[in-house]
Structure 1
């Protein structure tokens, strides 16, 4: 099938590459000429494991192409995926300007029938807005021979596992209309996704608005589980409870399960923070107050400060003269994404108190340099107290303590003897609970986790 992907960001590039891998003829459009040049020259503008291999293979066999030509992209695909960004607006709502601009271009250049698929994460009612924009363009052209149907097909991709998620999805949610044009679109979309359903049916068909809502509901539920466990972890620290033992205890209940119950120093990324805010904004438009989601957001904002508070409680309010090693900058492992990363909050807190910090991340170093330069643009003297090192152990040399913010696998089994010898004080502040408190105590390491102070309380 001939497919057009509008937007070569995280969702668009993964979607285009994976659909090409299944034999489709895919043309990806992006108005950023530099990004298209990188892709056409064999590069990848984002870090996603396995994506570079798929992109390279399908570029080589001609099934995956990249362009800045809007008219050519509209002409190419019978199915047009809109996969552009929907950043949060000032009021927390999703900014649809790029989605509607893509719709306008489709209406301006289309000839004949098109299936327009909203792949971007968009609020309820967006498909109707997209339809109106396309219809207005067709009316202006008097293009009576053209027809279209807008379908909602939200993505459920995890950064760091997006290729696997796309190629082996646990569900495919599709919202479509049931009129004659909608049924024709449904048939084409069903054909497109047939390869994913050979083992078992993974497609969930519903109306368009319900599909749009499903994406927000899914991310809001996951964010809620994280904030719930983080709030319990903070209480566990007060009463001498091991939150990891609690996690196993409640996770064994099949009604609850083990996923997304890990206590830590807060969630980040582009999805959870943005989508929780957008859903709250939608609720306010209908005079509804989502009390739980407001709490989820508030708990997460506070959780990003917990590690800093533990460090201050141990070393004092004034951190001038103290040097720390920080492992992990990206908001989660297997990505270089620094959006809403907990590391940024911790760095600002420690640097504002005079500390110096050596930092390491397996893949996010370049992105961190770019983002932190913006964060500290008005405080260059604080930015200058960050040192970037290429080896995690190098960061610990003569540091007062090790701070762990991202749970990269490379950090799970360090040489603790070397770690103790290099640290000025054998202290670890573990924002992701990578290590067992008893093991650390046996090794002579002072250990501060999240919700794991049971041993400290016992003393």
Structure 2
């Protein structure tokens, strides 16, 4: 099938490449000609394991091309996938300017029947707006289909090639069958529904997963107070098939481009129809506060943070991506600097992206490896659970530090690993490991020194 994907961000680029991998003729289109030039040189603008190899392979086979010219890309396509950004407006609503502009340009370039498929996350009713825009600008027949994406950064290729399910929202049986046939090499778990239900499925799915994360983080906070271990609690919960183990990993909360944006957008969608989504508002509130538990543990173990040297491991919002959007590290490093701490930080791939959006980047000392980020620190904070951090010798880490305080925001290490290194170790929702600091043992004497 001849396909065009408009937008070469995570969704458009990964989807386009994967559909070329299963034998389709794919054009990936973007207005950013600099990005197109980079892709045509074999440079991948995002970090996604395995993506560069698939691009090289399918370009060589002639099944994949990158272009900045919309009209020929639309004319040659049987189906056109909208994968443009829908960034949040100040009130939390999704900004549909890019979607509407793309719909107008598609309509003006059409030369016959097309399927216009929306993969961008859009509020309920958006595909109806797309239909209205296109119908006013073209005499050609077309169908509109909603195909929400469920990719996870860091495993986006596997999620595309081996999806849990495919949701197809349309009122056209013919378009539904064509899109279903396109996806059958990937899975037989294909659900066809109306357009508005498909749009809502995306928001409801992300909101529910975000709710699981905030729920287990609340349980973790209680576990710390009552002496329980949230790791065992989550494992015990996850054995219940009604609950399942996924998204029950306690930590410092979710970030990235999807969960924060989609939860806020769904709250706004509910508000637009005079419904207050109280549960989801609490989910967002819990998530925002959870990241600052790192600061609480630092103050508890060190006292005042002014003049203290704090190492930070991890800037991306999750491992195996260079995406720092809504990363907890943004808030945590900002709070550390605000309290007068000296910060030195390391991330395997996300440092450049972090520097580009963090206003106080020149106040941070950037390190090229994790041991150097820990060197001479009073405390070390692990904020992203990269595999590189899991494999390090904590004895070597402790030897590089000035004091031996490790705040593990992702529950990476076992008590055995920590005990071997003689660290004062603080995780999320698990019993304290290691000896008390001077401040914890006698805070009055500590301040009186």
Instruction: Report the TM-score when normalising by structure 2.
Output: 0.94
Where in structure 2 are there 5+ consecutive unaligned residues? 442-449
User: 1:321 pairs with 307, 310, 325, which one?
Assistant: 307
Contact map agreement 1:151 1:175 (CA 8 A) in 2: yes
Aligned partner of residue 184 in structure 2, secondary structure: helix
Q: Whole-Å Cα distance in 2 between the matches of residues 454 and 412 of structure 1?
A: 19
Q: Tell me what 2:51 maps to.
A: 51
Contact map agreement 1:223 1:296 (CA 8 A) in 2: yes
Aligned partner of residue 195 in structure 1, secondary structure: coil
Deviation at 1:19, TM superposition (A): 0.7
Q: Whole-Å Cα distance in 2 between the matches of residues 312 and 457 of structure 1?
A: 16
Q: Tell me what 2:446 maps to.
A: none
User: 1:360 pairs with 327, 333, 346, which one?
Assistant: 346
1:153 correspondence with 2:147: yes
Q: Residue by residue, what CA displacement relative to the aligned partner does 1:351-374 show, whole Å, maximum 9, x if unpaired?
A: 1111112111111121122122xx
Q: Whole-Å Cα distance in 1 between the matches of residues 396 and 434 of structure 2?
A: 24
User: 1:408 pairs with 386, 390, 395, which one?
Assistant: 386
Q: Tell me what 1:217 maps to.
A: 204
1:269 correspondence with 2:247: no
Deviation at 1:310, TM superposition (A): 1.1
Q: Whole-Å Cα distance in 1 between the matches of residues 232 and 46 of structure 2?
A: 37
Choose 261-270 or 410-419, whichever is displaced more. 410-419
Q: Tell me what 2:122 maps to.
A: 122
Contact map agreement 1:242 1:454 (CA 8 A) in 2: no
Q: Tell me what 1:31 maps to.
A: 31
Aligned partner of residue 384 in structure 1, secondary structure: helix
Deviation at 1:454, TM superposition (A): 5.2
1:304 correspondence with 2:291: yes
Contact map agreement 1:29 1:67 (CA 8 A) in 2: yes
Aligned partner of residue 185 in structure 2, secondary structure: helix
User: 1:370 pairs with 356, 369, 392, which one?
Assistant: 356
Deviation at 1:230, TM superposition (A): 0.8
Contact map agreement 2:176 2:192 (CA 8 A) in 1: no
Q: Tell me what 1:184 maps to.
A: 174
Aligned in 2, Cα 1:4/1:117: closer, same or farther, shift over 3 Å? same
Q: Residue by residue, what CA displacement relative to the aligned partner does 1:225-280 show, whole Å, maximum 9, x if unpaired?
A: 00001111112112222111211121121211111001101110000000001111
Q: Whole-Å Cα distance in 2 between the matches of residues 397 and 56 of structure 1?
A: 40
Q: Tell me what 1:436 maps to.
A: 414
Q: Residue by residue, what CA displacement relative to the aligned partner does 1:314-347 show, whole Å, maximum 9, x if unpaired?
A: 2223x23211111111000000000000011110
Deviation at 1:164, TM superposition (A): 0.6
Deviation at 1:385, TM superposition (A): 3.3
Deviation at 1:308, TM superposition (A): 1.2
Contact map agreement 2:383 2:409 (CA 8 A) in 1: yes
Q: Whole-Å Cα distance in 2 between the matches of residues 447 and 455 of structure 1?
A: 5
Deviation at 1:456, TM superposition (A): 7.7
Instruction: Report the TM-score when normalising by structure 1.
Output: 0.92
Q: Whole-Å Cα distance in 1 between the matches of residues 183 and 382 of structure 2?
A: 41
Q: Whole-Å Cα distance in 2 between the matches of residues 15 and 384 of structure 1?
A: 36
Deviation at 1:170, TM superposition (A): 1.2
Q: Tell me what 1:255 maps to.
A: 242
Q: Tell me what 2:4 maps to.
A: 4
User: 2:372 pairs with 365, 369, 394, which one?
Assistant: 394
User: 1:169 pairs with 160, 163, 169, which one?
Assistant: 163
Aligned partner of residue 381 in structure 2, secondary structure: strand
Contact map agreement 1:240 1:457 (CA 8 A) in 2: no
Q: Tell me what 1:278 maps to.
A: 265
Q: Residue by residue, what CA displacement relative to the aligned partner does 1:210-231 show, whole Å, maximum 9, x if unpaired?
A: 1111011110010000000111
User: 1:342 pairs with 304, 312, 328, which one?
Assistant: 328
Q: CA RMSD in A?
A: 1.6
Contact map agreement 1:241 1:454 (CA 8 A) in 2: no
Deviation at 1:176, TM superposition (A): 1.2
Q: Tell me what 1:380 maps to.
A: none
Q: Tell me what 2:131 maps to.
A: 131
1:194 correspondence with 2:180: no
Q: Whole-Å Cα distance in 1 between the matches of residues 417 and 180 of structure 2?
A: 53
Contact map agreement 1:441 1:447 (CA 8 A) in 2: no
Choose 446-455 or 338-347, whichever is displaced more. 446-455
Deviation at 1:413, TM superposition (A): 2.6
Deviation at 1:426, TM superposition (A): 1.5
How many matched pairs?
437
Q: Whole-Å Cα distance in 1 between the matches of residues 364 and 180 of structure 2?
A: 52
Aligned partner of residue 414 in structure 1, secondary structure: coil
